[in-house]
Structure 1
Amino acid sequence: MSSSTQRIGVVGYGHLGQFLVDRILRDGSGLGLSLAFVWNRNPDKLRGLVPEDLILTDLSSFSDRRCDVVVEVCHPQIIGEFGPHFLSQSHLLVGSPSALSDPDLNQKLRQAAQQSGNTLYVPSGALWGGQDIQRLNDSGGLKSLFIRMSKHPSCFRLTGDVLSEWTEGEGRRVLFKGSVAELCPLAPNNVNTMAAAAVAAGSLGFSGVQGEIVSDTELRDFHVVEVEVTGHGGFSVHTVRRNPAKLGAVTGSATYNSFWNSLLVCKGHGGRVYLC
């Protein structure tokens, strides 16, 4: 194995985790990637699917596997518990950037990246034009940002009873509209696209970026992400992205390849937050 090969640790083995693990095992050697470990809350789900020597049962011992990049595709809670420790040892690709809506954790992660020189990578996911938003923000030209995510109700994983009951044919229902800071705890698994936008729009932050989640029983085959960017001097952009998705799927189909492309970017960009 080449000394330039990047060792990747995957935390979480849901649909996205399975996709990444299978892709690394299949195509990784030709791209300079190899698996260091795979962790899942229930390790039994890994048996027979992941080589036994790659299964990590105790996440706190991840540093023994000498990773270059840890990829979190599990839950924001894992970032809260292990994020700073991951960054002290390796680059970190955060699949649950909604965790960054917690200002204290956000600061701890940024400090950990700065102190270690490792990069905190935030994937664009289903966000279209993330780098453009970031450039507008960095130039001081960003005035406001609004994102609407519309999905079939079966695709939402919400806390509380916001969507406790729904019926087929009920059509469109606005579930929540407000700041992304308020939305992230409500729908931690559904609004990572909004979280990525809040990272790109650093001058506005999670409290300044506005979001809306919509349940629509007509959206049986795709998710819809609408982004409205307003700049100074009358500048504005409105994009609508239709992401094919199966009923009940939290993540749209196109997001898988987007996440894979983000992983390929994780070569080290210094001790900072980097949207990829």
Structure 2
Amino acid sequence: MATSSSSFRIGIVGYGHLGQHLVDRILGDGAGMGLTLAFVWNRNADKLKGLVPDDRILVDLSAFEARKCDLIVEVCHPQIVKDFGVQFLSRAHFLVGSPSALCDPNLNRELRRAAEQHGRTLYVPGGALWGGQDIQRLDHSGALQALFIRMSKHPSCFRLTGDALSGWTEGEGRRVLFGGSVAELCPLAPNNVNTMAAAAVAAGTLGFAGVRGEIVSDTALSDFHVVEVEVTGTNGFSVHTVRRNPAQLGAVTGSATYNSFWNSLMVCKGHGGRVYLC
């Protein structure tokens, strides 16, 4: 990822559970891998005190350019992608941890244009998506006909913008919260459906409007998130996968996704001015 004569500088935007994991890995393992932590930004900068070296804390995100990053990693909220994504790509490669933001077609076009213009790569991590690159290859071959994803979680693990979960009680069982296009789902559950958004990027010809998704609340899922993917191709081809991702009650992100995201970060060394699923 970096040469022996220079380090690969990474900025982390967001310091929730995933952001903390990445910062700890970079500070702990990074030196031996040629990685340097350029900055960490969090909406509440006080949260960083004592956990991140003072000289790596960035209080004003609009001042990120002074830190001269090779890669900027967003792991907080789609609004950051909307507000800063194009600026990030003007200065560095950009790993977007909230790809649900890409459901906005105008923003999607702007980010792709910025990546091409500046020769930077817009990276989209697979997260909890299993077989994303296989879906992408099928799509590129022209053989992808349909893609459906169902995400089932304990209700405490959902962060929804509406009231679809109002009044749930422990032990109520299974409730389908919403089914429709991923374009419709992303604004409803922007922090929960990034796996679906990654799938929509992989299935480029179908896109956010063409990939179908469903989110399910299930009080029996106290230890796992379940992600089901159904792929339909030509001539009767189909694949159905079920992934059980260990997760604690209330956790938006399953535990296996942390290592998946770290592995995605390891890929982000520059793949030209384009979107790259990693």
TM range (shorter): over 0.9
User: How many residues matched?
Assistant: 276
Deviation at 1:30, TM superposition (A): 1.2
Whole-angstrom distance in 2 between the partners of 1:258 and 1:16:
11
Equivalent AA in structure 1 for residue 248 of structure 2: K
Deviation at 1:4, TM superposition (A): 3.3
Match of 1:215? 217
Unaligned stretches of 5+ in structure 2?
A: none
Deviation at 1:165, TM superposition (A): 1.6
Deviation at 1:105, TM superposition (A): 0.3
- Runs (4+) of structure 1 exceeding 4 A deviation are none
Question: Does the residue aligned with 1:89 lie in a helix, a strand or coil?
Answer: coil
Normalised by the size of structure 1, how large is the TM-score?
0.99
Question: Does the residue aligned with 2:72 lie in a helix, a strand or coil?
Answer: strand
Match of 2:269? 267
Cα deviation per residue 1:196-234 (whole Å; 9 max; x = unaligned)? Answer: 000000000000000000000000001000000000110
Match of 1:91? 93
Cα gap change, 1:3 to 1:61, in 2 (>3 Å): farther
Whole-angstrom distance in 2 between the partners of 1:143 and 1:2:
46
Deviation at 1:2, TM superposition (A): 4.3
Deviation at 1:10, TM superposition (A): 0.1
Q: Which of 59, 62, 78 lines up with 1:60 in the alignment? A: 62
Question: Does the residue aligned with 1:77 lie in a helix, a strand or coil?
Answer: helix
> Structure 2 matches for 1:150-169, cutoff 5 A?
150-169=152-171
Cα deviation per residue 1:67-116 (whole Å; 9 max; x = unaligned)? Answer: 00000001000000000000010000000000000000000000000000
Question: Does the residue aligned with 2:217 lie in a helix, a strand or coil?
Answer: strand
Deviation at 1:154, TM superposition (A): 0.1
1:232 aligns with 2:245: no
Whole-angstrom distance in 1 between the partners of 2:160 and 2:8:
36
Match of 2:139? 137
Deviation at 1:46, TM superposition (A): 0.1
Q: Which of 199, 223, 241 lines up with 2:243 in the alignment? A: 241
Deviation at 1:195, TM superposition (A): 0.1
Q: Which of 24, 31, 34 lines up with 2:26 in the alignment? A: 24
Cα deviation per residue 1:118-175 (whole Å; 9 max; x = unaligned)? Answer: 0000000000000000000001010000000000000000001111220011000000
Q: Which of 181, 187, 192 lines up with 1:190 in the alignment? A: 192
Match of 2:12? 10
% identical equivalent positions = 80
Match of 2:201? 199
Match of 1:69? 71
Whole-angstrom distance in 2 between the partners of 1:3 and 1:77:
36
Match of 2:181? 179
Whole-angstrom distance in 2 between the partners of 1:132 and 1:3:
36
Match of 2:122? 120
Whole-angstrom distance in 1 between the partners of 2:27 and 2:118:
29
Whole-angstrom distance in 2 between the partners of 1:121 and 1:211:
22
Question: Does the residue aligned with 1:233 lie in a helix, a strand or coil?
Answer: coil
Whole-angstrom distance in 1 between the partners of 2:35 and 2:188:
35
Whole-angstrom distance in 1 between the partners of 2:42 and 2:84:
14
Cα deviation per residue 1:228-276 (whole Å; 9 max; x = unaligned)? Answer: 0000110000000000000000000000000000000001000000000
> Structure 2 matches for 1:42-57, cutoff 5 A?
42-57=44-59
Whole-angstrom distance in 1 between the partners of 2:120 and 2:68:
14
Whole-angstrom distance in 2 between the partners of 1:180 and 1:259:
21
Equivalent AA in structure 2 for residue 232 of structure 1: T
Whole-angstrom distance in 1 between the partners of 2:236 and 2:190:
33
